[in-house]
Structure 1
């Protein structure tokens, strides 16, 4: 019985890492053969430290919590803030589809990761400069452009990181490496949130320091990654995701269940897009945060988001193994019900006491984690064998494009008010939950 413990532990840690991470599985390629894996002493520690740096740096500049506050600090218009999440997500998704085959043809892939990490660190430094030297809409546009370049670089890192892990760590130890790095990042991230809570309201230079600190974290991650000893090989299996997706678009027409899933996924992505508007309300509602003891400050929101993702990991994972469709519906209803309650309460002149928005972000993050786990589990179980490559290619291509369209919608709604965005996205989520009822119960078959 003891011989089965390591693989089981690896699977559990891999699940935990997947739930704590914000990465989309946008890479389209076949698995690396096990005989191409060559373990080198020390690689495990270096990979864990590099993944710790990656997760921590992304938490420090989270597009749902930290960046909206930065945008308000530089005086950027609210309608620009609606583009943060769409650009961050689609910008890292579409490049993976286009560049995956090219990176897969490289015998050594850690160089691609180092380029991507270096570009992200450089973008963070430039963002700090832009925040200091500009303001208003100009600062917002410059920050969005740099965020787009960061997202493109993030996609390059994601492609290379998965393959380097597959080439340098044995199959039954990969989940442990990923899980350890994500868990350490979660712990350090909670410390980061506590520090922000103690700091309270940050001046502009405080956000600049956060950007520079995140760039330094990326640089430390690069130092660790450079020392990874990777052997050449395993260049087969690359798929041009963009071309593959275009050629596979007929799946949307021919597979009714897959077509409905794409529609449901599109509507449920509102749970991610709406978060920045709650954050903006937390900063602006009832004239500031100085008297709220930090519970509604940026640090409190970061803590709430991290704790929700960590606390809901095992629950959503276990429920998804029973019925991923029900998980998507339950999580969607939680997010939609929360949005309608907040909209009704604040529209009728209700107040926001200390900790109000921290609690809101906690519940929303918990619901979004469920949506992510449910949709990923549903897609994997819906596809069989090599069809998963087709499903992933089509799904991520369409989602990358639709995220940009959603950004335009949120921009228009934001011209009305943040509460209008919350109301419309909550209604769209309810529609997604209703349409999900027509999905097959893939775990039962």
Structure 2
């Protein structure tokens, strides 16, 4: 039991994350660890705040393309930013998961990943300051690839630590609160970008160094988490463990369906650059891009905590509702633009806001579903299998979007919206894992 209020529980952050009832059972974690839940909840949220803010400051869809242009890097290099950023963090997770399993304290893996990302950002700042052109672009891509691998390590460890330290029916709230706070802080960053105009080179270097500092602050928070040693059996090497872990898809039908649903709902992320292309086509101007960054931060701040609360009731329904919003938005935008409707300056900022609200729901829903579906020490394997397969499918989806993009950006939006609809329909067959004690 952990209903008793401590003196530490009077802060505003504790108020945000306190359970709805005073007498709650620590579901899915040992009862003798309940006294550590309050502190763990606070440090996890602060670490997630730092993580999300650092990633926003070096976003592969906004900040890094601007940096590449400022350095005079070729356009074909810029096209590799998002695939390397996303796939690089997912593809190796099936193999990294085997090594994480060997660690009784999984937070050590997260700290290694966070430290590597901070170091890469410092090297990126040095690279941008010294070199330019294709050489700077290639070096930055290599560092981004290393950052993505490190991000995958953090992803595996973070979900396992969340499951070990926070009870079921509270994990979604922790995830959503951290994301919402990061969105709020990100609003300030978006405002700075919107008024910066043509950012000088030293401005990009300062952003990279500031993001590295934020990662260090996140590491300081993560070290304060009280994690109990977990099981280390199953920590075998690489390929053998990878092939064995794939059996989870056949052994657990709910996990297999979840992977299919997640594959289809990742369209809510892949479609974002094409809304940006449409905005450039209809509006243009860097200030429009700044407005979109603000819209993303505002949406994350306004919705992630709300989605987290709903995910603790039913993460399945959260994925369905969020996916439905994204799909209807895409179809509505396509129909409106095809009919030649007027496109005022704030139109696409509003579109990005709604899409970001929906994508935040998909992310919080799928993370909470996966953590609650895989109880105990199975989480590392479930997360590793899920993310590795998503990395492969992300590359295929990227190739599909490139082919559709040869037709038009509207074609990509339309197809991805239809795929999202299919994902919403298939999610109906998922169990409500929050009802399982």
Task: Establish whether residue 58 from structure 1 lines up as the match of residue 55 from structure 2.
Answer: yes
Cα distance 1:123–1:362, how it changes in 2: closer, same or farther (>3 A)?
same
Counterpart residue number, 2:264: 267
Query: Residues 95-135 of structure 1: CA distance to partner in whole angstroms, max 9, x if unpaired?
Result: 44433443554578777555534432342244345556344
Counterpart of 2:232 (choices 237, 260, 275) is: 237
CA gap 1:279/1:441 in 2 versus in 1, 3 angstroms: same
State the Cα deviation string for residues 71-111 of structure 1 (Å, max 9, x = none): 55556677765654443333233444433443554578777
Matched, 1:288 2:292: no
Matched, 1:353 2:344: yes
Does 2:314 correspond to 1:317?
no
Residues 47 and 225, structure 1, Cα contact 8 Å, conserved in 2: yes
Report the Cα offset of residue 245 of structure 1: 4.9
> Which residue in 1 is equivalent to 2:24?
none
CA RMSD, aligned part only?
Answer: 4.7
TM-score for the superposition, normalised by structure 1: 0.72
Q: How do 1:295-334 and structure 2 match up within 5 A? A: 296-298=288-290, 300-334=291-325
More displaced 10-residue stretch of structure 1: 101-110 or 255-264: 101-110
Can you give the 5+ residue segments of structure 2 that lack an aligned partner in the other structure?
Answer: 20-27
Q: 1:433 to 1:83 in 2, by over 3 A?
A: farther
Residue in 2 that maps onto 1:13: 17
Match of 2:367 in 1: 376
Partner of 2:3: 3
SS in 2 for 1:202: coil
Q: Distance in 2 between matches of 1:402 and 1:285?
A: 29
Change (3 A) 1:272 1:387: same
Distance 1:36 1:367 in 2: 35
Task: Please tell me whether the aligned partners of residues 124 and 215 of structure 1 are also in contact (alpha carbons under 8 angstroms).
Answer: yes
Which has the larger displacement, 373-382 or 360-369? 373-382
* Alignment gaps of 5+ in structure 1: 16-30
Residues 166 and 14 (structure 1 numbering): CA distance in 2 closer, same or farther, change over 3 Å?
farther
Q: 1:421 to 1:78 in 2, by over 3 A?
A: farther
Asked if residue 193 in structure 1 is aligned to residue 190 in structure 2, the reply is yes
Cα deviation, residue 432, structure 1: 1.9
The whole-number CA distance in structure 2 between the counterparts of 1:444 and 1:161 is 23
What is the CA distance between 1:352 and its match in structure 2? 3.4
Residues 1:437 and 1:52: Cα distance change in structure 2 (over 3 Å):
closer
How many angstroms does 1:307 deviate by?
Answer: 1.8
Distance 1:412 1:436, change over 3 A: same
Q: CA deviation at 1:214?
A: 1.9
In structure 2, the CA distance between the partners of 1:212 and 1:237, relative to structure 1 (3 Å rule), is same
Helix, strand or coil: the match of 1:285? helix
Structure-2 change in CA distance of 1:434 and 1:38 (3 Å): closer
Alpha-carbon distance in structure 2 between the residues aligned to 1:263 and 1:232: 32
Question: Which stretch has the larger CA shift, 365-374 or 377-386?
Answer: 377-386
With over 3 angstroms needed to count, the CA separation of the structure-2 counterparts of 1:72 and 1:240, relative to structure 1, is farther
Q: 1:371: how far off?
A: 1.5
Counterpart in 1 of 2:22?
none
Cα-to-partner distance string for 1:201-255 (whole Å, 9 max, x where unaligned): 5355543432233234345556x479x5899983643644965552243343455
- Could you tell me how far 1:386 is from its partner in structure 2? 6.4
Per-residue deviation at 1:60? 0.6
TM-score (norm 2): 0.73
Contact 1:121 1:216 in 2 (8 A): yes
Q: Deviations over 1:156-214 (max 9, x none)?
A: 345566788999x8989x98998887666444322222222332453555434322332
| 1:156 matched to 2:153 | yes
Number of residue pairs the alignment of both structures matches: 416
CA contact (8 A) 1:13 1:180 kept: yes
Question: Which among 400, 406, 424 is matched to residue 415 of structure 2?
Answer: 424
Maintained 8 Å contact 1:125/1:215: yes
Deviation at 1:318, TM superposition (A): 4.2
SS in 2 for 1:237: coil
Structure 1's 171 and 325: CA in aligned 2 closer, same or farther, altered over 3 A? closer
